[in-house]
Amino acid sequence: MLTTSPPPAVRASRPHRPLIAVTVVMVVLVLAGIGGALIDDRELLGHPIWMKPLKFMISFALYTGTLAWMLSLQTKARRLGWWVGTIVAVGLAVEIAIIIGQVVVRGRLLHFNMSTPTDQLMHNLLATTIYLVWAAVLVLAIVLLFDKPGDRALRWSVRLALLTTLGGMLLGNLMFRPTPGQSRVEAETGEMPHMGAHSVGREDGAGGMPIMGWNTDSGDLRIGHFLGIHSLQVIPLIALALVVLAKRCPRLRPEGTRAALVFVGAAAWLGLIWLTTWQALRGEALIHPTTPTLLAAGALAGGTALATTAVLLVGKRAGQP
């Protein structure tokens, strides 16, 4: 009978100091932001004024921390990886400074705000910086496509996570289209003080789920964007979870089996990103799915279950004499 050994431990090189530094700063800012939210009762569009900066701080901390870990796995082009990571670190540090300055200090809307020259400047700086970060992550994804960090499952989880997060970042562009109401204002006045929105089916405003603030009565494009960005954490976690489970389940010890399951998990997560974005574009709230959404969700869940079963059955047969 064919035997397999447990997956090897992953060797990591020295962590990326700029990314680690930004991660630490974000964590400190999160704590400061929580304190600010407790003593500052100002609101913006019906939400506590500190809520948006806090969400970005937490997201950036996860993003920079995960990228620092991925870069520590590099075996090739480490100098290029260091520069790419530094660009991301500086870019996200600039981003959070703009967010805090615009929202907390100025008390102004962050996104879609073209009301004054200063608001336009903040908007353009934010957009330029995030595209620079996107380009840097793209370079890192290309570098790691030709690198071989860890075993096959971990290697592909990192590659798929980077590629999926790049697509998730681009989903933000769907929000920067004029709404019907904004187009009417431009037609009547010749000006467009606000361009774009998170919501589909109504204007942005008060009301939404606790903490995340996602709409409960209309489509919300932030959901797919959020899931896409945080593919960076979810997909590698699948690979790491399989490593842990392989210690108890011999069927998961072959690299090929775990790599195939990583592909299944990444495809399922990509399907979830598509599903929530499609739902939002139809003006449908996440918590009020219609029949087409439920059917698509059922097909996604069923396909994932079938693919997982098939991988495990093939893996079992491969382990037989």
Q: Which residues contact 230 (CB under 8 A, 6 or more apart)?
A: 59, 62, 165, 168
**Which residues is 47 bridged to in the sheet?**
44
Give pLDDT, residue 318: 55
**What is the topology classification, in CATH, of domain 1-150?**
Four Helix Bundle (Hemerythrin (Met), subunit A) (1.20.120)
Give pLDDT, residue 315: 66
Provide the 3-class DSSP secondary structure of residue 111.
coil
Provide the 3-class DSSP secondary structure of residue 224.
helix
In tens, the pLDDT along 64-83 reads 999 999 998 888 888 999 99
Q: Which amino acid is at 277?
A: T
Helix (H) or strand (E) holding 35: helix 17-39
For Cα atoms 107, 112, 118, give the angle at the middle one, nearest 5 degrees.
55
Tokens of 203: 């204007």
Give yes or no for a contact between 91 and 80, defined as CB atoms under 8 angstroms apart.
no
Core vs surface per residue 273-282: b (16+ CB within 10 A) or e: bbbbbebbee
Enumerate the H helices of the chain as residue ranges.
17-39, 51-72, 78-99, 117-145, 152-170, 180-189, 222-229, 231-246, 255-281, 291-318
Greatest alpha-carbon pair distance for the chain in Å reads: 78
Could you tell me the pTM of the whole model? Answer: 0.88
Tokens of 1: 């009978």
**CA distances (Å), origin 288, targets 25, 218, 266, 273, 283:** 38, 9, 25, 17, 11
Report residues of the chain scoring pLDDT below 70. Answer: 1-13, 206-207, 315-321
